[in-house]
Amino acid sequence: MIEPFDDTYFMKKALQEAEIAFEKGEIPVGAVIVIDNRIIARGHNLTETLTDVTAHAEMQAITAAANFLGGKYLKGCTLFVTLEPCQMCAGALYWSQIDKIVFGARDKDRGCINLKTKLHPKTKIEGGILEDEASALLKRFFIVKRNLN
């Protein structure tokens, strides 16, 4: 039997995706989707690269997971994302019927919790996993960006 990984392990994988986004000049948000203790999808922000405001990390991961599973519903899956999902991503997660969302840093201005965005009734949400690391990466990105302009 495979020993189960904990939430920290999977959030570290999402942070690796966020680092890839950072290196591309994208806002550093990363995501992975897990089912049965196995990563089935990865994503990071690509809004600048694709010139697409919908190309958030969560959207990339949702699409990859649906393709992997061969269907639009992500029942039995958990999303690990470095930043609390926005309303758009929360809406897509609602329709995907994902079981659980685990995020790192809170987004007090645009996050789904403060904006009271409705999630699927069966979806659980948990925040603050590796929050300091996720927040530090975002802060570093915006410091670098300010200094370049």
| Catalytic (active-site) positions | 58
Q: Is 44 annotated as a binding residue?
A: no
DSSP string for the chain: -PPPP-HHHHHHHHHHHHHHHHHTTS---EEEEEETTEEEEEEE--TTTTT-TT--HHHHHHHHHHHHHTSS--TTEEEEEEE--BHHHHHHHHHHT-SEEEEEE--TTTBTTTTT----TT-EEE--TTHHHHHHHHHHHHHHHHHH-
Q: Is 56 annotated as a binding residue?
A: yes
Binding-site sequence positions? 56, 86, 89
